[in-house]
Structure formats: structure tokens, C-alpha cells
Structure 1
Amino acid sequence: MARQQLLHLRLFLLSSPKPVLLNPLPSLTSSSSSRNASSNPISRNRVWTLTTPRRADSTVTSLAEEILSSSTNDLSPDLASVLESDSARSIVHPSINGFPFLELLSLLKRRPLLALQVFDWRRNLRDSTPLIAEEYASAIALAGRAQNLSLAVKLFNESKPTANKPILYNALMTAFMYNGEVNRCISLFHELKKETKYGPDTVSYNILLSLYGYHILVDQMESVLRDMDSSGIPRSVVTYKILMCGYLRSRRWKQMERIFGSFKEPDMSTRLLMLRGYAIAGKLEKMERMYELVKGEVHAQEMSLICAMIRAYSKVRCESSLRKIEELVKLIREEEYFPHLHIVLIMVYAKEGLIDEMERLIFDANKRNIVISSHRVIRTILSVYYKCGDVERLGSFINQAENAGWSLSKDLYRCKMILFSRLGRLTEMCCEVDKMDSYWPVRDRYTLKILYKGFSDAGRMWEMNMVIGLMFKYGFRIPQDAVVG
């Protein structure tokens, strides 16, 4: 039974997008002492069964490596010679360790077109055992990954007479979900419910829950979950993880925590999921406690969680947060660098008013060809230059932004005009208007008001009157203190 559940889980995960959820749930724990471990979805043994992959046979692994190395592209003629070997023919028969051909398809899934060619060889191979439903299901899922839904449907129809369980429906539902065919996936599920020999199983409902959760369809998620419970279909560990992902996506932190608290001994992937939830929710104390539990795994292969934690700290302005951000940044390897992280760090230093560190990151962003298109980020950077009053450094930043193709706004040039005005450099202030005209030829009242204020503070009555005349010309309301001489 455990082997069959594991096989279903692999097929479900073969090509599905990240699961997501959202729904109030009844208690996940049972007070009945007669409930055994195999029926308890949160039991330790069941968590191990559903989350620990079986080690592939060495013959299958070596054959997969040979196929991948000999086939530089998915249509390589060398593939035929590899498949004619004795080692290839030996894996088409079931063994005491299971179905080695299924293991081979799983190892080749990152190149679905190549894996489908291997399946086609197996299907046309003479003097071999007939294809079983699980092999067809793997091929259907691979066709989904290859975005070949017509092939997936063809294989489904071809294999349907040999199936006596919902695994083929699950594979095709997964293919539809992977390619964004929401309606076809839902329709196929309802077709499965009409089957007289068998109906939906836990995997079937998990796929539908994942689909609705991913699209944040709350009402539909709740309906499917109720239907699952009323039909007597048991929830699995995967079900709860899908629900946790959905609560994460819909920002329902209390429900997510409640599900997490129901696990007697949550596994590593569940803890990592909860860490992400705490980071996005900005619950720093809980995030730090969870981080201490999974630190080794995060450092090894979960760099996206490091970035999520940095974003969480960036929302809190304090010295300790900045220190923790800098410690986390050191953990990120160069090959795993996120461009978005660079922008977050620029924002952090800008909010703290650390102009030297901010400019170092801006220079580095230009070297990495990172383009900033957010006006909010530009305005945050601009506020630093405005507060320090250094017009030369502001001018250098504007030149970098222009050359790098960053999002420009009038605020950049208006700020520069104000700083020039304060320094009495009125000629340079007027030159900024000419630069603005090359981007935004239509004059606006706020720019003219800055000009008026600059000339007014310098006592330049003639220029003041010219600005007032422009305000009249464009239909703007003139300043209350304006005096026409």
C-alpha cells in the first residue's frame, strides 16, 4: 500500500506547479486511541513514507546517465543504440524492487521529450511485458511537461481500457494543470467521479485543491475540501502541505500556523514552508526561532528563503535588522544571486540614509545590468540626496539612471532644481528645465513654481515676471505672494 501511495505521489509531483491553498479546516488531530498510524495523516511513519523517495537501482541510474550523456539533443540518433543494449532491455520487466522502467522515466523527467522517446521505444518493443497503467500515467505526465496535451490525451484514451484505478485520470489532470487548462482539469475530475469501477482518490483531490489554491479561488477550495471529507477520502500529508501553501499565498497566517501545529513531528519541507510564511508575514521572532531549526538546510539549498528573510528584516528600521541583513547577504553565493535582492538592499541603505553603501550598490547594479523600473525605489533613493543636499552626487546618479535605462520621473530633475536654487546656481537650475523638456515637453505648474521660488529668493524680479507670464499662458494658478512689476 505504501509503495502505491508513493507512486501516486511521484506522478502528482512530476509536473504540477507549486501547490497553494486556502480554507478553514477542522481539527487535524483525533482523540480516538483506536485510530492506527496508517490512517493518521500526521503520523511519523506516514510522513516518512510520503516524503522519502526510494533510492533508484544502480543499473537504472547508470542507464539514465548514459542516455542523457549520449543524447545532446532530444532527437539524437545515438539514443537508439543505447536502448538496444542488454541493460536497457532488462529494465522493462518488473523486479522485486518495483518497476525499474518507471524509475528511468523519473530520472529523465527534466528532459521530457527525451523521456517520451524512451517510452515510445518501450511501447513498441517486441516480446516484452504489456504496458501497465503506471507507465502510461508517467508518459501522460511527461507529455504535460512537454506541453503536448494532444499526446497526453491520446495516451490517456489508449490506456484507459487497461486501468482499474484513477491513476490515469490523475496524470492527465496534472498535465492539464501544468499547462493552465483549468476548465479541462475540473471537467476531467467530474468525469472521474462518474466512473462506476472507481472514483477520485486522495491524489485526485490534492490536484484539484492545488489548482484552486494556486488561483486563490477560496470558495471552490472550501467546496472541494468539504466534498473530500464527506466522500470519506482520507487527507494525506501532501494535502496539508497544499493547504499550507494556499494559506501562504492568500496571506492567512493563523490558519497556516494551525495546520503546522497539528503535525506531531513536521518534516523539513514543512518547516521550510512555515519559515517562508513567517518571513512574508513579518513575524520576525517566530521566523528567527524557525530559522534556528532549519539553518543547515536553508544554507545548503534554500537561497530563496534567505532572500525572503532579508525582505522581512528590510521592513523594520533598526540597527539590529541591518546587521542581520548583512549577515544573511554573506550566505548567498554568486551563482544564486537574485537581481530583486539588489533592489531590496538599495532600499534598505537608502532608508537608513547610508549614502555611500547605497551608491556602491547602485554602481554594482549598473554593472549587473539591473534595470529599476519602480518609481517608489527611485523616490526613496532621491530622498537621500535631497536630505544631504549634495547636488553633484544627485547629478551623477541621474546620469547613471539615464544611461542604464532606469525609470525616470520629473521628481529627479525637480529635486536637482531645488538644490541648485538653494546654492544660488540659477543658470544650472534653468538648464534642468531644458532636460525635462526632452522627456516631458508639456510644462507643469510644480516645475514653474520651483523656478518662481528660486528667482524670488534671489530677488530676480524680471525672471519672476517671466515665470508668472508662463503660468498665465498655461492656465495655472499663480502663487499668492506673486507681485507683477
Structure 2
Amino acid sequence: MQRAWRISEVKVELLLLHRCSLTNPKSLINPLYRIPWTLNNRFVREFSVQKPYSCNEKISRLIALFENKPHSLGNNTITLLSEKPGSSGKIGYREILRKRVSKLAVKLVAADAEEDPKSISGNLEANEAVSLFQSYSDGDAFVELLRQLSSLPRLALEVFNWRRKQVDNGIPMVLKEYVKGITIAGRAMNVDLALELFNDAANRGIKSTCTYNALMGAYMYNGFAEKAQAVFRDLKREQNCSPSVVTYNMLISIFGRQMMVDHMETAFSEINQLDLFPNVSTYNHLIAGYVTAWMWDKMEKTFRIMKASNVKPDINTYLLMLRGYAHSGDLEKMESIYALVKDHVNKKEVPLIRTMIIAYCKSSDKDRVRKIEELMKLIQEEQYRPWLNAMLIKVYAQENLVEGMDNYIHQAFEHNTSVTTVKIMRAIIANYFKCNTADKLENFIRRAESAGWRICRSLYHSKMVMYSSLNRFEEMENVLEEMGRFNLDPSKKTFLIMYKGYMQSGHRTKVARILGMMCKHGFEIPLDPISSHFKAVE
């Protein structure tokens, strides 16, 4: 176990040796002092700065030393030292880098939680941290640190500002650091700083497509679409760099969000003209643009073209298509896509689940209630949405499911949700009326009145009809007083409901009184007491 640990340590130090600045011979010595082997002294003697060895010679002699010792790494050492970013060995390099940087990131996050700026700068200025960044003079360590702090853009920006100060101490910033800094500034909603960093990079002679893309992304993230397009136009005028497929992807995304479909399609055609080769992000942005514009045919066409090309759809592609089919009401295709990504959607895409529920609510699918209930099981109580609750009340009312409708009405009252749509109120009334549940209707109206729901005559007319059918005439007449409390004057239909009820029950005296009240309010007395045009519920 001890030997394995030592070999692992040597791997780390060899990587540091390989990645350190080749222009600084002393940086090739420092890692050797940390190697926990008895060969340490021999390494120091071999690679003393007084030795006139070139960098390649030093690495070659180091390999030879390993091959001649019992604990040699043999061919693994040669592979390790020959690995470059972008090679198959990059995974191991990245993993070691990530672990080293994560220790510093944890300290910085802890200092930030304690709101201790001195502790943050102290951790950054510690010998270990400085040595870390110097060992990775290509900027990989600092970029990785910013990546790990990306969820805390304010802290990441503070760390980046510290890094900028190191330029004055003889540690110049490289391209990837500027790119990451511009991106972080955008995430921190500081577009002025993003532009400042872009200009700083340009003044130092390291302007590139990447810096343009980063600035363009910063503007896009903060909603400055016109400024992002201006950056794109500036890039096209550059002589030393030109737009990449990433640039066009962002441009397509901007046009898609603004529903500028013609511009979006023009940008896509330019990609093909420049032989930049569209990637999965390109097609995803196109599909997203068509979904936003509700252009379902073009959405499907793009999806077919994508599948026919060498670009394979990813999870985001399928999620976009699922959303598109849900919005378009194509339940068959929606369910087909859902079957492909069901596990992912059920765990991580609650908004998309709601979108599917809306699709079922708006449909005439005979099995829609069962499907809705299956999807509703995936939504937690704390993810309650008032508008969805109101829509479900309407669905259960339309399906004449009183118990289910009552449950969602109760949820609405519990969450202080006010339904203000006349169509939903009438659907509730019609359901109670069809099921002849006068007491439930009475309870609902009472709660709706106090909860600020939409109050309309249909509520009271339905209650009057139901009381009339049950010969509860006193309660029927009391409804007039309830209407008065909400400044709802009786209409002709109000009196006709009472007229019909008294006529059918043989209360001639009350019939005459109702006719008198109709005359008093200026309503025409019906010649046909039970008119064929009479409707109990509006």
C-alpha cells in the first residue's frame, strides 16, 4: 500500500514537472524536492540548475532514472510525460488538476461564507496557492478554480480580480483566463467589466474568436441582444480571426428568442457556406427558435435533418421536441418522445411535466384524467402552481368528477389562490348542477365569496334553480339578498327562475307577486310561463 501511494505521488509530481513553464529552469527543480522517494537527492543532483541540460534532456534523463530503478514506472512514465492537453491522457491530467484545485476552492467558499475578504485573499496569496498557479502557467489551474466557483459568481469575480493584480507581479494572464474572466463577469451581471476585460486582452495582443465569443455570451446572458449582435459584426470585420460555429450558435439562439426566424435561418445557412459544420448545439438552438415561434412543421423538419446527418440528438434535443409537441397538442408524438426520456424528465424536468399536463388539459383525450393523475404524482406539494390548479379544476368539472374537482378547489383555498376566470367558474357551477349537489354548491359559493373569487350571476342562478327543484323556496328567495351584497341586481332570468319554481309548485299568490316585481323592474311579462328559451344556467 505504501509503495502504491508513493508511485501515485510521483505521477502527480511528474505531471507538475511536465506542465510547468519550460522557460523557467528553476521551476523544474521545485517539484523534485516533494517526491517522497529516497532517490530525491539523486534527482536534485541530476537536474541542478547548473547543469547545461535542455528541458527535453532533463525529462529524458528523468525517464532513464525511473527505468533503471526497482520502483520504475517504465512505459507508463514515458506516456505520462508525453501526454498533452487534448490527448487520451488528458482525463488523468484533468482529474489530478481538479483534486488539487478543489482543496483551494473549499477554503475560498468557507471564507466567503464567513464574509471574510482577508481570508479569501490570504488563501489566494498562500505559497501553496501561488505555487499551484505557477505550476500551471498555461492557466489551466486558475480556469479550473473559476469553473468550480461558477455557482458563486460574486466570489469567482473577486478571485478573478485578485488574479488580474498578479499581472503587475510578472505573471501575465493567458487567453483562456481572459475568456473565463469575461464569462464570469457576464454571469455576475457586470457587462461593463466583461467589456473592460475584452479590451484589456485586445490591448495585450491576445484578441481572438474566443474572447469575442465570451463577450457575446456575456451580453446574451444579460439580455443585451443588440450588443451581442454588434460584437458579432465586429468579429466578422476582423482580419486575424473569424466567427466559429460557437459564434453562430449564439447568434441563432439570440434570433430564436426574439422570434426573428428569417435571421435565424440566414445565420444557419452561413454556417454551411463557411463549411463550419453545425453541431448538436446548432440544431438545438434552431429547434428552440421554432418552438418559441410555434412553427411546428419547421421544428420537425430540423429534427429530421439532424437525425439524417452525422449529428446525433442529445437529451436537450429530445426535451425541446417534447415541449414542442406538448405545445402543439400532438399527444401521440409527445408520448413517443416522452417514452425515450421518461426517466430523465420524471427526475429533473418538473416544468416540462407541467407542460405535458397542460397539453392533456386542453385535449379531448378520453383517458386524459388518468394520464394527468399519473403525471401529477411526480410533482411535489411545494411545487404547487396556482394556474395549474385552476386548470385542473376546470378539467375535473368538464369530466363531471365532483370529488376530484372538490379536492383541487380545496387546494386552491388552502393556497389562497383566487380563480378569476368566468369560464372556470361556470364549469364548476355546471358540474355541481348536473350532479344536483345543492349543499356543495352552497358551501363553494360561501368560500368563493370570502376568498375573492370571480362572482357572477350564474353562481346564484344555479343555486336558485337547485333550491327550486328541491322545493326549498325560502332559501331560493334568500339568494336575492346574497346577490344584493355583491351589487348584483336581479335580471329577467332571476325572476323567471322564481316564476317557474312557483308555477310548478302551484304557489299562485307568489307567482302574482313575481309578475309584479318584473313589471316594477321593467321586464316583459312572459306569455309562455315555461318558455322553451328558458335556461336555468347561463
| TM-score class normalised by the smaller sequence | 0.7 to 0.9
CA contact (8 A) 1:247 1:255 kept: yes
Name the residue aligned to 1:382: 429
Q: CA RMSD in A?
A: 3.1
* Distance change >3 Å, CA 218–CA 376, structure 1 → 2: farther
Measured after TM superposition, the shift of residue 239 of structure 1 is 0.7
Amino acid of the structure 1 residue aligned with 2:502: A
Amino acid of the structure 2 residue aligned with 1:130: P
Equivalences for 1:113-192 in 2 at 5 Å? 113-125=154-166, 127=169, 129-161=171-203, 162-192=205-235
* Distance change >3 Å, CA 373–CA 177, structure 1 → 2: farther
Measured after TM superposition, the shift of residue 238 of structure 1 is 0.7
* Distance change >3 Å, CA 388–CA 286, structure 1 → 2: same
Amino acid of the structure 2 residue aligned with 1:275: L
Measured after TM superposition, the shift of residue 120 of structure 1 is 0.5
CA contact (8 A) 2:397 2:405 kept: yes
Name the residue aligned to 2:44: none
- CA distance in 2 between counterparts of 1:255 and 1:90 reads 54
Amino acid of the structure 1 residue aligned with 2:494: I
Q: Aligned to 1:467, what secondary structure does the other structure show?
A: helix
Gaps of 5+ in 1: 1-53, 473-477
Amino acid of the structure 1 residue aligned with 2:330: K
* Distance change >3 Å, CA 135–CA 479, structure 1 → 2: farther
Measured after TM superposition, the shift of residue 354 of structure 1 is 1.0
1:221 and 2:272 matched: no
Equivalences for 1:31-110 in 2 at 5 Å? 57-72=98-113, 77-93=118-134, 95=136, 99-110=140-151
Q: Which structure shows the higher helix fraction?
A: 2
Name the residue aligned to 1:28: none
CA contact (8 A) 1:92 1:122 kept: no
- CA distance in 1 between counterparts of 2:261 and 2:525 reads 53
Q: Aligned to 1:71, what secondary structure does the other structure show?
A: helix
* Distance change >3 Å, CA 481–CA 165, structure 1 → 2: farther
Equivalences for 1:311-460 in 2 at 5 Å? 311-317=358-364, 320-439=367-486, 441=487, 443=489, 447-459=491-503, 460=511
| TM-score computed with the length of structure 2 as normaliser | 0.70
Name the residue aligned to 2:515: 464
| TM-score computed with the length of structure 1 as normaliser | 0.77
Amino acid of the structure 1 residue aligned with 2:165: N
- CA distance in 2 between counterparts of 1:386 and 1:193 reads 68
Return the index of the structure with the highest Cα Rg: 2
1:310 and 2:357 matched: yes
Amino acid of the structure 2 residue aligned with 1:155: L
Identity of aligned residues (%): 36
* Distance change >3 Å, CA 90–CA 373, structure 1 → 2: farther
Q: Aligned to 1:57, what secondary structure does the other structure show?
A: helix
Measured after TM superposition, the shift of residue 210 of structure 1 is 0.8
Measured after TM superposition, the shift of residue 242 of structure 1 is 0.4
Name the residue aligned to 2:527: 481
1:195 and 2:243 matched: no
CA contact (8 A) 1:241 1:270 kept: yes
Number of residue-to-residue matches in the alignment: 422
Amino acid of the structure 1 residue aligned with 2:328: A
Gaps of 5+ in 2: 1-93, 504-510, 530-538
- CA distance in 2 between counterparts of 1:128 and 1:371 reads 64
Name the residue aligned to 1:205: 248
Structure ranking higher on relative contact order (CA contacts 8 Å, 6+ apart): 1
Measured after TM superposition, the shift of residue 118 of structure 1 is 1.0
